[in-house]
Structure 1
Amino acid sequence: MPVHSLVPRPAELVVTDEPGLALTPDTRIAADDASAGAAAWLRTELGAATGLGLAPGTEGPRIELRVDARSGLAAEGYRLSVDAERALVVGNDAAGVFYGAQTLRQLLPPAAYRRSPTDTGWTLPAVHVTDQPRFRWRGCMIDVARHFLPKREVLRLIDLFALHKLNVLHLHLTDDQGWRVEIKRYPKLTEVASWRRESQVGAAGPKAFDKRPHGGFYTQDDIREIVAYAAARHITVVPEVDVPGHSQAAIAAYPELGEGERLEVGREWGVIENVLNVSDTTLEFYRNVFDELLELFPSRYVCVGGDECPKGQWQASESAQERISAEGLSDEDGLQSWFIRHFDEYLTGRGRRLLGWDEILEGGLAPGATVLSWRGTEGGIAAARAGHDVVMCPTRTSYLDYRQSDSPDEPIPVGTVLTLADVYAVEPVPVELSPTEAEHVLGAQVNVWTEHMDSPRTVDFMVFPRLSAFAETVWSAQKRDFAEFLPRLQGHLDRLDAIGVEYRPLEGPLPWQRRPGIPGRD
């Protein structure tokens, strides 16, 4: 595997003509206590692929991992040096060591990503690498509410995110079409709200349905496992439970949460008019939900959604109008802001930070809120100028459910075209921000909305290799050149092949990746 195929590209890479480190039955892995997790991970992954024991030891040929907070490296940064006797990874912290170990694995042939030995030659080339991330938020949102992903698939995606040095998994757990997390106090959220009787197929023309029930949820032990598995790979899992819109599934389970009409779990896509009511009972219900979630998710950030909340039901609701009057609010936008501020105070009181989509700006932004800027960059600009932290994820560059070309072969083509090159070219920090304002940009994420991704195979097709391009935009600080990136990506695709990722080929979808006859939308 050529050294130039490293993805994301490191800040500094020097390849020498000296002999590298051959991995043999005598090779050991040495690690200090702070690097023990990375050592265990590397021993498991390389041991499976090479068949080598890679036992602990500090003598002879070895891979050595250690944390050195005095190394001069930035947070999550590392140095990797390989010669004939030793491969040394030094990290500023445990995360840096882990990312250095990820780079070390990429120096080996693609077979290093297989689960059993298929190769007999394992030599790390002699290199010197110094590297660190540009942003502290390098994320991907996975929507498991519209189409449920089994736990095994979430764990597989976590490994793929770690390979790409991402550090945030934003897990979209609830929406109109399903509720995916066990809440012991409210069992109907999984008994009723976790499945729908059928799903809309396609996105245009007369609505068609598959007449096939769909559902699933994660138990609290499943969530604990996912969170721990991610943490071992230095990925934070940020949960999202949507309020006050995108809540039809919860209302179907507990009708008292809505504005009176009995509902079923949503089976159509798009913005649905049904929203939560603004009663004290509803606020208490969701406080109780978040009480359980905070026990499961140690993340500093908790997402409450706040997006696409239609106001029609509130305009016609006597109780909503009474709340507007009682709280001295100006209108329904103010009512939404009041609702979000309630949970901002709740989360702040528990040492957490509220995260929400940029509609939470409407009616006034809650004091502790962090904004996901998705409707372009304007929300992020406004929030940063007001002194709030921002994660950039505008639709035109960050929505991986969008079509990948104009070809009619693209499956269920929705949105505007978002090519691999488009993702690679994006600049996460808006040029309108001053240097001081830009400090509020924590980073960026891509969003994987799954209305039209009804299987893990489809998720693979839509996410990869665009996620590989995105990973470089949030990790690498140097100027990007797509022509330089493409040869490295070609080598990287060999790794994805070895893992078994069913990505979209660069030349277009394979016959079985198409969905002929199912309409999309612009």
Structure 2
Amino acid sequence: MTPWSGHWSRPDGSTSVPDHALVPRPAEMSTGPYSGLVLTASTRIDADAAARGTETWLRSELGVATGLPLPPGDGQSAQIRLSVDPSAGLGAEGYRLIIDGEGALIVGGDPAGVFYGAQTLRQLLPPTAYRRAPLGGAEWVLPSVHITDRPRFGWRGCMLDVARHFMPKHGVLRFIDLMALHKLNVLHLHLTEDQGWRIEIKRYPRLTEVGAWRRESQVGAGHPLAFDGRPHGGFYTQDDIREIVAYAAARHITVVPEIDVPGHSQAAIAAYPELGEGEPVEVGREWGVIETVLNVSDATLDFYRGVFDEILELFPSRYICVGGDECPKKQWRESPTAQQRIRDEGLADEDELQSWFIRQFDDYLTERGRRLLGWDEILEGGLAPGATVASWRGTAGGIAAAQAGHDVVMCPTSTSYLDYRQSADADEPIPVGSLLTLADVYRAEPVPPELAEAGADRVLGAQVNVWTEHMDSPRTVDFMVFPRLSAFAEVAWSAGEREFDEFLPRLKGHLDRLDAIGVEYRPLDGPLPWQRRPGVPGRD
């Protein structure tokens, strides 16, 4: 390749850099004096052993879109070369991409970095590079650029709730591809809830035989409650989960499972009534916080240890989420066995009882080399020693946890809840929660100012959360998630100051890629007629 002699831009990309609509924005980018690289039938892709996975992925993705064979090179003749070089000073997940008229070179600090460099290379092609068959007549030209890039945070996540409304496996795999496109690397998969249990546990078959199905679902968020009268359900077999985890890993995404305890557990109690504190119940039909809670017996703890034994076999993630949020205490206050447990363990109240319950699984996971992740309610009554906190009720829980020496993932409702309404317009479908616009997501800052002087190093990163009470199909997930997920991706990846007015033109170009993929995102000027839900009430 010709030695690079182009102009380096400032890190914010503001100086003489053409708008290639790259999302998220690279750390450093400049244009070169060359005409660019034209991909043809003779173009080859070569990779060293550590980059071979990305080579396979890139050949597959570009091959179906361009119709080009892109065969392997011989180490000398390839026009696209991929390599891992830990000594290149790029850091974890960092990469360098150099394109001139003779070829394209991607060097990653690790295999993930090569993959992200390949994602950027694909974005430099026309949007038709994201289609699943060639359209004909296209010229595939990669512009002459020099990019050095690295992520700001190591945790760039999205929580996908498949428990309220089940997403079939192919939809999850598609969602993983969309996350990878945006250089996100954690899929927090919310697998159990009051309204459904979505993962096969072989030693407890009734969890899916009974717990995966409900007889109807609440529609909207009005009062009195309305229901659709239509059964709903589904679950992933263990082989489905192995496939999802492997598919994600090939795209450098870690799947973090969530099994909720001790609240949000009505589906499990419906399947095994002995887990509960009251009368037998059915799988939940309504949304919101339900009073049903697990009992605190040794038998219930053993039951869930059995569940987690199988979870750990399926998910290699260092982090395992146990929920711990919105646990109602009414049944415990009225339960003789819960009150006896409080006395036996020397606990002050039901908040400390919840903390005691969570600590049982902190010990369990620590003994097995894993880390417990829980929502910020796990702070109440005392935080388990090995716990990592997902701070959702604002930033206070994350600040307290970080200042106490615990790791934190920031996901406050005000900036991170993609089920919240996208505008104040009456046409928004089932508007719930506070207003969270595209600009609000983009302008969010994951590290609170209270941690600027001490504790910022405890912020692993950030994630957005996709709760699906009012998203009954992948189409509605598309509408609620995109393009806000594109804005979040830049928050989590790109360092330095961000200006929404600078981002917006790049996003408009990026939407052409989402169109090519078939993502039914919310248009920037509001929902299309078929994306609305007239007559279905929301809530503030």
Shorter-normalised TM-score: what interval?
A: over 0.9
1:506 equivalent in structure 2: 524
After superposition, give the CA deviation of every residue in 1:396-418 in whole Å (9 maximum; x if it has no partner).
10000000000010000000110
2:414 equivalent in structure 1: 396
1:17 equivalent in structure 2: 33
Task: Give me the whole-angstrom Cα distance separating, in 2, the residues matched to 1:452 and 1:117.
Answer: 36
Q: Would the aligned equivalents of 2:218 and 2:285 in 1 still touch at CA under 8 Å?
A: yes
1:329 equivalent in structure 2: 347
Residue type of the partner of 2:469? Answer: E
Residue ranges of structure 2 left out of the alignment (5+ in a row) = 1-17
Residue type of the partner of 1:105? Answer: R
2:493 equivalent among 466, 475, 490? 475
Q: Would the aligned equivalents of 2:32 and 2:100 in 1 still touch at CA under 8 Å?
A: no
Within the alignment, does 1:35 sit opposite 2:51 as a pair?
Answer: yes
SS at match of 1:81: strand
Residue type of the partner of 2:59? Answer: R
Within the alignment, does 1:89 sit opposite 2:135 as a pair?
Answer: no
Task: Give me the whole-angstrom Cα distance separating, in 2, the residues matched to 1:158 and 1:61.
Answer: 29
Task: Give me the whole-angstrom Cα distance separating, in 2, the residues matched to 1:359 and 1:90.
Answer: 42
Question: How big is the shift at 1:17?
Answer: 2.9
Task: Give me the whole-angstrom Cα distance separating, in 2, the residues matched to 1:21 and 1:30.
Answer: 16
Where has structure 1 moved over 6 Å in runs of 4 or more?
Answer: none
Within the alignment, does 1:299 sit opposite 2:314 as a pair?
Answer: no
1:199 equivalent in structure 2: 217
State the Cα RMSD in Å: 0.9
Within the alignment, does 1:286 sit opposite 2:304 as a pair?
Answer: yes
After superposition, give the CA deviation of every residue in 1:17-39 in whole Å (9 maximum; x if it has no partner).
31211000110001000000000
Question: How big is the shift at 1:16?
Answer: 1.8
2:205 equivalent among 187, 194, 198? 187
Residue ranges of structure 1 left out of the alignment (5+ in a row) = none
After superposition, give the CA deviation of every residue in 1:437-482 in whole Å (9 maximum; x if it has no partner).
1100000000000000001000000000000000000000021000
Task: Give me the whole-angstrom Cα distance separating, in 2, the residues matched to 1:371 and 1:259.
Answer: 27
Q: TM-score, normalised by structure 2?
A: 0.96
Question: How big is the shift at 1:74?
Answer: 1.4
Question: How big is the shift at 1:85?
Answer: 1.0
Task: Give me the whole-angstrom Cα distance separating, in 2, the residues matched to 1:61 and 1:236.
Answer: 31
Q: Would the aligned equivalents of 1:179 and 1:250 in 2 still touch at CA under 8 Å?
A: yes
Q: TM-score, normalised by structure 1?
A: 0.99
1:7 equivalent in structure 2: 23
Residue type of the partner of 2:86? Answer: A
1:52 equivalent in structure 2: 68
Residue type of the partner of 2:29? Answer: L
2:425 equivalent in structure 1: 407
1:103 equivalent among 109, 117, 120? 120
Within the alignment, does 1:247 sit opposite 2:257 as a pair?
Answer: no
SS at match of 2:82: strand
Within the alignment, does 1:141 sit opposite 2:156 as a pair?
Answer: no
Task: Give me the whole-angstrom Cα distance separating, in 2, the residues matched to 1:60 and 1:324.
Answer: 71
Question: How big is the shift at 1:118?
Answer: 1.3
After superposition, give the CA deviation of every residue in 1:309-356 in whole Å (9 maximum; x if it has no partner).
010000000000000000000000000000000000000000000000
2:440 equivalent in structure 1: 422
Question: How big is the shift at 1:436?
Answer: 3.4
Pick which of 59-68 and 247-256 moved more: 59-68
Task: Give me the whole-angstrom Cα distance separating, in 1, the residues matched to 2:114 and 2:292.
Answer: 48
1:487 equivalent among 486, 497, 505? 505
Residue type of the partner of 2:298? Answer: D
Task: Give me the whole-angstrom Cα distance separating, in 2, the residues matched to 1:477 and 1:492.
Answer: 20
Q: Would the aligned equivalents of 2:51 and 2:114 in 1 still touch at CA under 8 Å?
A: yes
1:156 equivalent in structure 2: 174
1:436 equivalent among 454, 458, 481? 454
Pick which of 59-68 and 72-81 moved more: 59-68
2:188 equivalent among 149, 154, 170? 170
Question: How big is the shift at 1:260?
Answer: 3.0
SS at match of 2:86: coil
2:6 equivalent in structure 1: none
Task: Give me the whole-angstrom Cα distance separating, in 2, the residues matched to 1:17 and 1:508.
Answer: 41
Question: How big is the shift at 1:61?
Answer: 5.2
Question: How big is the shift at 1:86?
Answer: 1.0
Task: Give me the whole-angstrom Cα distance separating, in 2, the residues matched to 1:504 and 1:257.
Answer: 42
Question: How big is the shift at 1:3?
Answer: 4.2
Q: Would the aligned equivalents of 1:3 and 1:107 in 2 still touch at CA under 8 Å?
A: no
Q: Would the aligned equivalents of 2:191 and 2:197 in 1 still touch at CA under 8 Å?
A: yes
SS at match of 2:134: coil
Task: Give me the whole-angstrom Cα distance separating, in 1, the residues matched to 2:357 and 2:214.
Answer: 27
